[in-house]
Amino acid sequence: MTTTIDFLSHLNPNQRRAVEHFCGPLLVVAGAGSGKTRALTYRIANLIVEHKVNPENILAVTFTNKAAREMKERIQKLFAEQMALSEFGERYDLLPEYDQVRLRSKVYKHIIKDLWCGTFHSLLSRILRFDIDKYQDEKGRTWQRNFSIFDESDAQSLVKEIVTKQLNLSDKKFNPRSVRYSISNAKNQGLSPKEYEKEEPNYKGRVIAEVYNCYQDKLAENNALDFDDLILVPVRLFQQNEQVLGYWHHKFRHILVDEYQDTNRTQYQLISLLTTFGEQKSQWNWENRSVFVVGDADQSIYSFRMADFTILLDFQQDFGDGLADEDTRSMVKLEENYRSCENILEAANHLIENNTQRIDKILKATRGEGEEIFYFQADDEVAEADFAIDKIRSLEKENPDLNWGNFSILYRTNAQSRPFEDILVRNGIPYTVVGGLKFYDRKEIKDVLGYLRAIANPADTVSLLRVINTPRRGIGKATIENLTNAAQELGTTMWEILSDETSVNTLAGRSAKSVNNFVRMISRFQQEVENLPASEILQNILDESGYVQDLHNQGNDEAEDRIRNVQELYNAVRQYEEEAEQDASLQGFLASTALSSDLDNLKEGQTAVSLMTLHSSKGLEFPIVFLVGLEQGLFPNYRSMNDPAALEEERRLCYVGITRAQERLFLSHARERRLYGTREPAVRSQFLDELPRELLATQYSRKIAYKKGDARSAPVGSNNTNNTNNTNNGKPTPNINWQVGDRVMHKSFGAGEITHIFGGGSKVSVAIKFPGLGQKIIDPRVAKLKKIE
DNA sequence: AAAATTGTTGCCAGC
DNA sequence: CAACAATTTT
């Protein structure tokens, strides 16, 4: 691998700057479709080839498992191509299949295998498999390395149990869902129960803090973590144990983070600790060390899980030189869009300009104008689906280049998929729905995984209780209650009680025999874990537990379906074992199931129409996109309509949707929609009115006739702060040296305080915190600001 | 202890 | 209109 990779030649100057970056911090502001994945993969390759960085010193954080997998594949291919030239003097794709495979596996073995590339959750669960036994929380709770990962429904049932059984509170006043949400938010902000109570000292806050505390007890009792813990625990561990932090800080010399605008405070802390070893800025040493983040504040759509895009905006202050755009060496902007046709981009740019909380960035088209955007108003949701599928059929028929996989239907909520599915089925068009009911959320899958979890982690009482009487073994409520109480009294895990036959005989009465049989079976499996691969354990469970037999006896179609799904799970284990050479353990597999998302199964080159939410579509692209259900209350969602910041997030979501389209974009809505079973009238979304009309065509006219002269200005009623002339009475703010902490007066938002300054010189923007309105980013040249003393 | 029936609540997004 | 929970029946 001595020759230089020539890939640098097909990059634009800014991409090239990003890819060639070696040490120190760099923020890559990457607009939609600007080739950021390419920048990330090429940079990793460049680090290894050009700067001789050892792959095991690289940590790359992606937003989904799918993105991680694709990134690894692309790097693998880059190296294989490189080696083809240096070893065979031949182009990779001209080599015989046999040599290609050989090259790829060689690259895998020497490079890809050692790369740490994955989501925050999967990477950190891997770190915790090494080090969680060195962690102790503020109450002295500890965990072992074979911990379980509880999913959202596990977490919610724990909360429910605590609220109703332990604290005897009404689950109406403290509904488990929202309490769980509060706890999750607390964790994502790094708050312990005590700290949360300090923040929310009212009655409700005190109760939630108490639930949170008990919830942590339960997690620890089960030797389990929830999703949020996978991030929070490593942060706390790093803060309390310098040796552990030192190890990982030393190992991960080059850190890359994709979709940085969607990181939350805890994730930021983690990156910060790993990069800086928790030291003061003056102590930092960037020799052979870098932190490289990629993101786009306009695509920040996960604030509901505490993502905070000001983290991205602060990057240069936190890690970099903090200099203005023109002078900075710690930021690169990618504004050239290689994905969408000009009409689509123009619509997207126009829409997002209605947001005040943003940094100016315009996507520049590199492709042709393309076809007009099509807008359709349907009578109801069924007619809307009819329209979309009609279009899909005719387009597919007319264009031999298109296949079903080139189409996607994007909506705001999962519930909207139904009518589209119905009509796709009726037309015999293959499709896949991403999200909704996940494979691993199915009852039969959770049951079987329950066995595996109980075997991998005997302390996992939740899983144990799930399977102890599944299938029916005559172990009933009374027996389980006795056992639970006993475990409680003795302060041990239920498994310890169960392991002792005499105890079981006294406690379980009539059911003792079945309980003991069950326990013996699980013990046997636990011993097998040492010597057998997970797939064989699973096979034994299916044979010996009677689970499949029980399904078989039911004899209906639904049961047959379930058996097939269980079989599918077996295939998944086998596949996992083949792919994951380094961690082919049962625990590794269980972690992968807990952290998998539906998206991960969406394969490239699949020839089926994709249906998914706008959130899921982030990072994807399709030649033809249908953005449906553009109605007030649905999109933007009614819960966002009275909150300016939330509304802006909805608009960003719409921006994400539009920028998924490469060639053609269809926008639609219904005039009437079924909701909760009743028909409700629907009004077209305000986002439609924020698009330039002359870009839209309808079923009646080639292009919508637009009103008088003022073609490209925003429609009446929007607050377009970039339109200097009609929002500000002509006078922009004179060039003042703004400073953080300045109190200012804004014409429509009132008094506020400057919290950040972005850029410098003549093109600054400032972030201002307005009481009650939250933080906004404003360009003082455009919006009139007055300094108040 | 399990099945059948009636009642209730919820649709925002997801690792 | 669903899924899900609580309640009653067998």
Q: Determine how many CB atoms are found less than 10 A away from the CB of residue A567.
A: 12
Residue in A41, A64, A299, A587 annotated catalytic: A299
- At A774 the pLDDT is 59
Is A554 one of the catalytic residues?
no
Rounded Cα gap, residues A225 and A399, in angstroms: 50
pTM for this one?
0.88
- State which residues between 590 and 629 of chain A bring their CB within 7 Å of strand B: 595, 597-599, 612-613, 615-616
Give, in Å, how far the C1' of C3 lies from the CA of A676: 12
- At A561 the pLDDT is 83
pLDDT 10s digits, A252-311: 999 999 999 999 999 999 999 999 999 999 999 999 999 999 999 999 999 999 999 999
pLDDT 10s digits, A134-173: 999 999 999 999 999 999 999 999 999 898 888 888 777 8
Give, in Å, how far the C1' of C2 lies from the CA of A121: 33
- At A361 the pLDDT is 82
Give, in Å, how far the C1' of C6 lies from the CA of A137: 38
A511 beta carbon < 7 A from strand B?
yes
In contact, A38 and A15? CB cutoff 8 Å:
yes
Is A258 one of the catalytic residues?
yes
* Residue A360 exposure: Cα atoms within 13 Å on the Cβ side: 15
Give, in Å, how far the C1' of B12 lies from the CA of A161: 25
pLDDT 10s digits, A636-677: 999 999 889 999 999 999 999 999 999 999 999 999 999 888
Measuring from the CA of residue A160 to each C1', which nucleotide is nearest? C5
In contact, A238 and A267? CB cutoff 8 Å:
no
> Does pLDDT of A409 surpass 50?
yes
In contact, A711 and A718? CB cutoff 8 Å:
no
Give, in Å, how far the C1' of C2 lies from the CA of A678: 12
pLDDT 10s digits, A304-327: 999 999 999 999 999 998 888 778
Smallest CA-to-CA distance from A782 within A356, A400, A442, A423 is with A356
Q: State the DSSP string of A78-98.
A: HHHHHHIIIIISS-GGGS-HH
Question: Is the link from the previous residue into A636 a cis peptide, with omega within 30 of 0?
Answer: yes
Handedness of CA A621, A622, A623, A626 (dihedral sign): negative
Q: Can you give the C-alpha Rg of chain A in angstroms?
A: 28
Is A581 one of the catalytic residues?
no
A474 beta carbon < 7 A from strand B?
yes
Q: Which nucleotides of C are covered by protein (CB under 7 A)?
A: 1
> Does pLDDT of A716 surpass 50?
no
- The DSSP letter of residue A631 is B
- At A166 the pLDDT is 86
**Which of A39-48, A472-481, A763-772 is predicted most confidently?**
A39-48
Measuring from the CA of residue A417 to each C1', which nucleotide is nearest? B11
Q: Determine how many CB atoms are found less than 10 A away from the CB of residue A632.
A: 17
A203 beta carbon < 7 A from strand C?
no
Which residue is it, tokens 């909150």?
Answer: A643
A677 beta carbon < 7 A from strand C?
yes
> Does pLDDT of A583 surpass 70?
no
Q: Which nucleotides of B are covered by protein (CB under 7 A)?
A: 1-2, 9-15
In contact, A27 and A320? CB cutoff 8 Å:
yes
Give, in Å, how far the C1' of C4 lies from the CA of A192: 32
Smallest CA-to-CA distance from A284 within A331, A332, A330 is with A330
Give, in Å, how far the C1' of B8 lies from the CA of A161: 19
Structure tokens at A503: 């105890």
Residue in A154, A226, A228, A258 annotated catalytic: A258
Which residue is it, tokens 């404003």?
Answer: A778
A637 beta carbon < 7 A from strand B?
yes
High-pLDDT (> 70) share of chain A, %: 90
Is A733 one of the catalytic residues?
no
- At A149 the pLDDT is 96
Strand-pairing partners, residue A410, are A612, A627
- At A246 the pLDDT is 97
> Does pLDDT of A706 surpass 50?
no
- At A713 the pLDDT is 33
> How large is the average pLDDT for residues A95-122?
93
Q: Give Cβ neighbours of residue A787 (< 8 Å, ≥ 6 apart).
A: A736, A742, A743, A744, A745
Smallest CA-to-CA distance from A621 within A392, A420, A339 is with A339
Question: For residue A705, what pLDDT band results from cuts at 50, 70 and 90?
Answer: very low
